[in-house]
Structure 1
Amino acid sequence: MALSREQMARRVAQELRDGFYVNLGIGIPTLVANCVPDGIDVMLQSENGLLGIGPYPLEHEVDADMVNAGKATVTAVTGSSIVSSADSFAMIRGGHIDLTVLGAFEVDVSGNIASYMIPGKKVKGMGGAMDLVAGAENIIVTMTHASKDGQSKLLKNCSLPLTGVGCIRNVVTDLAFIEIKDGCFWLRERAPGISVEQIVELTEGELVVPDVVPVMDI
């Protein structure tokens, strides 16, 4: 069975390391804030000016003025800072973000990402995605493996306008954890109940499959 959005976020959270500064993009990435492993101290950053994002608030904790880049209400951890978006982007452009988690429409075998425009459709816009893919040391994309009509999102070449070139290292989908290197997708883990054959069928770009593909521990 394909992973839920929350399970995808939990798998991404396993890539967090103590002391990381992490930017969470709009959509599934924001759920990572609820999944930080015990014993890991990270500072989650939102491009609109909050450094030190906490878990989503309970109903009695909601503050309409405390929002992330996706306009969802959030909490702040002890030691957090609220700054201008200019200061926030200075962190991003200055290379001070250890990990960025983004959603995407498409990713290809060269590590290219398309995440901001579908010609002929209304999409919210670029936001800070181009700055993030240029300034972050490490980027993980999390998205569904295929579209609602069964078309792969893991491609030989992205068909949509690119957000960044050669910048994506890892992808967490609802079916698999995939590494990108040497011009190929490498299948590192599969979701519980998902077969290698299902993943191969829904991956357009070249996929390297090792002899043993472990099941995600989520």
Structure 2
Amino acid sequence: MSRQTRSLIAARGARELTDGMYVNLGIGIPTSVPSFLDPALRVVLHSENGLLGVGGFPSTTDEDPDTVNAGKEPVTLTAGASVFDSGLSFAMVRGGHLDLALLGGMQVSAGGDLANWRTAGRLIKGMGGAMDIVRGARRVVILMEHTTRDGTAKLVEKCTLPLTGQGVVHRVITELGVLDVTEDSFVLRELAPGVGVTDVLDRTDAPVSVRLDDRDGR
């Protein structure tokens, strides 16, 4: 994935956050979201390994090997941040204290099923964490590329990879646009700059209804 593609998706993902939210950031593209947040926005970012008050990535000279996110990447902490064990972190998740979870994905089905922990020959660390988070967060938004490197659709009618959760995804943000999830289809709400409706339809292996929203897809 190019840096430009990653940044495009993360920047749009940042627009999902509103004042007062407690938000979990999963590994992959979501860890870049803090770099695109408005400094005036009052949100608290959660990392499942035991951080509350996650900031952006530090400069190389300011990296602390003991302060990392769930993807083992060095991060900064905001004023008033807390550090605790994973047991307390998941008590927060299971207690329903997360307003939003931004996670990566390998497949999302038209019914909102998510597969994000295993694909052929590759196992993603911490799959148990994601399984808890998709059930504990009030809203789940997936940030991922629209297709695999070989052009295979990742938005599908039915997932073929092992599931992380069934019927848990509310929205998917890719480099092509923003799609909401209904019971049996995707709903295209926004197009990325320079992208046409046909581009999305051709690269999605599931039914898609087109209902472009001028107000940002909410």
Higher relative CO (Cα under 8 Å, sequence separation at least 6) belongs to 1
Aligned to 1:9: 10
Q: Are the structure 2 counterparts of residues 23 and 122 from structure 1 closer, same or farther at C-alpha, using a change threshold of 3 Å?
A: closer
Task: Judge conservation of contact 1:154–1:203 (CA < 8 Å) in 2.
Answer: yes
Aligned to 1:209: 210
Aligned amino acid, residue 128 of structure 1: G
Task: Judge conservation of contact 1:116–1:163 (CA < 8 Å) in 2.
Answer: yes
Aligned to 1:166: 167
Aligned to 1:35: 36
**C-alpha separation between the residues in 2 aligned to 1:175 and 1:159?**
22
Q: If the length of structure 1 is used for normalisation, what is the TM-score?
A: 0.93
**C-alpha separation between the residues in 2 aligned to 1:27 and 1:127?**
16
Aligned to 2:97: 96
Q: If the length of structure 2 is used for normalisation, what is the TM-score?
A: 0.93
**Structure 1 segment 57-68 matched on structure 2, within 5 A:** 57-68=58-69
**C-alpha separation between the residues in 2 aligned to 1:91 and 1:43?**
13
**C-alpha separation between the residues in 2 aligned to 1:180 and 1:77?**
33
**C-alpha separation between the residues in 1 aligned to 2:24 and 2:67?**
16
Size of the aligned set, in residue pairs, is: 215
Task: Judge conservation of contact 2:117–2:123 (CA < 8 Å) in 1.
Answer: no
**C-alpha separation between the residues in 1 aligned to 2:12 and 2:141?**
11
Q: Are the structure 2 counterparts of residues 215 and 201 from structure 1 closer, same or farther at C-alpha, using a change threshold of 3 Å?
A: farther
Query: Following TM superposition, where does structure 1 have runs of at least 4 consecutive aligned residues deviating by more than 6 angstroms?
Result: none
Q: Identity percentage over the alignment?
A: 44
> Offset of 1:213 from its aligned partner?
6.2
Q: Are the structure 2 counterparts of residues 120 and 126 from structure 1 closer, same or farther at C-alpha, using a change threshold of 3 Å?
A: same
**C-alpha separation between the residues in 2 aligned to 1:37 and 1:208?**
32
**C-alpha separation between the residues in 2 aligned to 1:107 and 1:29?**
16
**C-alpha separation between the residues in 2 aligned to 1:121 and 1:170?**
25
Structure 2 unaligned blocks of 5 or more: none
Task: Judge conservation of contact 2:187–2:208 (CA < 8 Å) in 1.
Answer: yes
**Structure 1 segment 45-64 matched on structure 2, within 5 A:** 45-64=46-65
Aligned to 1:70: 71
SS of 1:60's equivalent? Answer: helix
Aligned amino acid, residue 136 of structure 1: A
